[in-house]
Amino acid sequence: MNKHSIITTAAIIVIVIPFAYSTLNIVGSQQLEYRWHSPGEFSFFTMSNHGEIEFCNTMPFWTSFQKFEISTFYDEKFIGSFVVNSNTINPLSSGVSEGKFYSDQVAAAQHVFMTLDFEFDGGDIRLDPNKLIVIVGTDTPILGIIPFSSTQQISGFDFDKIMNVEDLTCD
pLDDT tens across 109-129, in order? 999 999 999 988 888 888 888
The DSSP secondary-structure symbol of 127 reads: S
pLDDT at residue 143 in the model: 80
Residue 90's CB is within 10 A of a number of other CB atoms, namely 12
How many residues appear in the chain? Answer: 171
Please check whether residue 169 lies inside any domain of the structure: no
pLDDT at residue 23 in the model: 86
Please check whether residue 168 lies inside any domain of the structure: no
Please check whether residue 119 lies inside any domain of the structure: yes
Write the CA distances from 122 to 10, 71, 75, integer angstroms: 62, 24, 21
pLDDT band at 19, cuts 50/70/90?
Answer: confident
pTM of the model: 0.87
Please check whether residue 171 lies inside any domain of the structure: no
pLDDT at residue 1 in the model: 66
Judge contact between 94 and 35, C-beta under 8 A. no
Residue 163's CB is within 10 A of a number of other CB atoms, namely 23
> Whose CA is closest to 32, among 166, 162, 123, 119?
162
Q: What is the pLDDT of residues 56-96, one digit of tens each?
A: 999 999 999 999 999 999 999 999 999 999 999 999 999 99
Residues 64 and 139: their CA atoms lie apart, in Å, by: 10
Please check whether residue 9 lies inside any domain of the structure: yes
Please check whether residue 91 lies inside any domain of the structure: yes
Name the 3-class secondary structure at 144. Answer: coil
Please check whether residue 148 lies inside any domain of the structure: yes
Please check whether residue 19 lies inside any domain of the structure: yes
What is the residue range of 31's domain?
3-163
Number of domains in the chain: 1
Judge contact between 74 and 43, C-beta under 8 A. no
